[in-house]
Amino acid sequence: MVSTNAAPLLSERFEEALLYAAQLHKSQLRKGTDIPYISHLLAVTALVLEDGGDEDEAISALLHDAVEDQGGVETRREILRRFGERVARIVDGCSDCTTLPKPPWQSRKEQHLAHLRTASPSVARVCAADKLHNARCMLADYRREGEAIWSKFTRGKRDILWYYRGTLKSLGGKASDRLLNDLARVVAELERLSET
């Protein structure tokens, strides 16, 4: 029997973050699709919660792309004001840049991978969930569309797979085995399919 006196696992802060994320990303779509971007944020949040993440990590999952894609430093200040230092730090750890225009892709990703090698367990959990959801979507798209999926991205197949392998290496021992093993399986399947 479940106790009715237990404190809720997710508070009004989570509800506020959900609304804030929906507002920030309301006109954003998933790359190369008509799918609202919020679907990705909800999926990443679900993976974080299913992996045992706490409320701050769940809020960070909802907001993990907010600074990078929706306002940079100003959005970071608002996240800090609304949700506190820990959430802001986790979002920082998941962001590979805060400026526009973004720095060149290769150097930005190399710096982010270097940062992930020293990431906190919370940053590692949210990043692993983010990459896992993205990779699962790529794999599903690949099964439907084949090699055409790589044209959705500014970088080609080789670079994208390099980044996913680098993420796995950088997060090794920091995120849960469950998330990393799932990510490794999906990346291996993408590599296998794209070689045939």
Please state at what angle helix 72-83 crosses helix 85-94, rounded to 10 degrees.
150
Judge whether 108 and 166 are in contact, CB under 8 Å. no
Residue 153 has what pLDDT?
86
Sorted by where each starts, the structural domains of the chain and their CATH numbers stand as: 12-195 (1.10.3210.10)
Kindly give, in sequence order, each residue whose CB lies less than 8 Å from that of residue 111, ignoring residues fewer than 6 positions away. 96
Q: What is the pLDDT of residues 48-96, one digit of tens each?
A: 999 999 999 999 999 999 999 898 899 999 999 999 999 999 999 999 8
Residue 142 has what pLDDT?
95
Q: What is the pLDDT of residues 152-169, one digit of tens each?
A: 888 889 999 999 999 999
| Active-site amino acid positions | 68-69
Tokens of 47: 């993976």
Residue 181, pLDDT above cutoff 60: yes
- Rounded Cα gap, residues 171 and 123, in angstroms: 10
Closest-CA residue to 130 (of 47, 8, 33): 47
Q: By percentage, how much of the chain surpasses pLDDT 70? A: 95
